[in-house]
Amino acid sequence: MSAQKGGSGALTPGRSPGGRTTPGLDAQTLALVRIATATATGDEAKLRERMIAARAADVPAGWVEELLLQGFLNVGYPLTLVAFAVWREVAGPVKDAGEPIAHPEWEQWTERGVKACAEVYGRTYHKLLVNLRALHPAIEPLVVVDAYGKILSRPGLDTKRRELCTLAAIATLNAPRQLHAHLRGALNTGSTREEVDGVLAVVEIDLTKERALKLWEMWADVRERNL
């Protein structure tokens, strides 16, 4: 796994605020995953509680900033703007904005976007590009350059944690095709099956029993076949 600067890829078991051990996830990654799922729900009280818990777990503020920035890609502008507003209340003004995003680095964004997207999608990467072009020619650069090059390749949060948080957000939403891809993507970027188990255990708390069952069934299929 090629990881961005900002965090180690090694994860050790953490505990939820209720004291329950979450397999495979260290306390800081668990806190990030819980914020990712809360962002997808738009629940301000839940966001505030989980962001406060993240600060108590000494999660670097920059990691949360990066997680929320990728929320624009995963859950859209309305929900992410809500999450950012709550985070500003909890954390105060931005102290370090990280890498500037408004600069003419198209070539760099393209190069690192191709690399990051190929890492997540693995052997299905070229099929992804064909499918994106078939939807609309403009979608390929929007995904590869804007999403993976500009946002998901930013320094500040490692690739493995980014993909685990992406998985958490997508699993909270009702987007089965994308969920299937990101279950594979978590494995492709270095997560263990136990770490994915840990993320899904967090996510299912916010789902209906029916959706939670479908989530675990899809994961069982991916896990067994290693797609």
Which pLDDT band holds residue 5 (cuts at 50, 70, 90)? very low
Alpha carbon distance 197, 46 (integer Å) = 22
Q: Is the pLDDT score of 32 beyond 80?
A: yes
Residue 206: Cβ within 10 Å count: 18
Q: Is the pLDDT score of 3 beyond 60?
A: no
Residue 58, CA distances (Å) to 8, 110, 112, 133, 205 in order: 15, 34, 29, 42, 23
Residues 6+ apart with CB under 8 A from 72: 80, 151
Mean pLDDT throughout 68-96?
Answer: 95
This model's pTM is above 0.75: yes
Q: Which domains does the chain have, with CATH numbers?
A: 15-99+154-225 (1.20.1290.10), 101-153 (no CATH)
In 3D space, the residue among 1, 17, 34, 3 whose CA is nearest the CA of residue 165 turns out to be: 34
Summarize pLDDT for 144-153 with one digit per residue, the tens. Answer: 999 999 999 9
Residues 6+ apart with CB under 8 A from 15: 21, 22, 27, 30
Which pLDDT band holds residue 224 (cuts at 50, 70, 90)? confident
How big is the chain by its Cα radius of gyration, in Å?
A: 17
Mean pLDDT throughout 30-53?
Answer: 97
- 8 Å CB contact between 7 and 161: yes
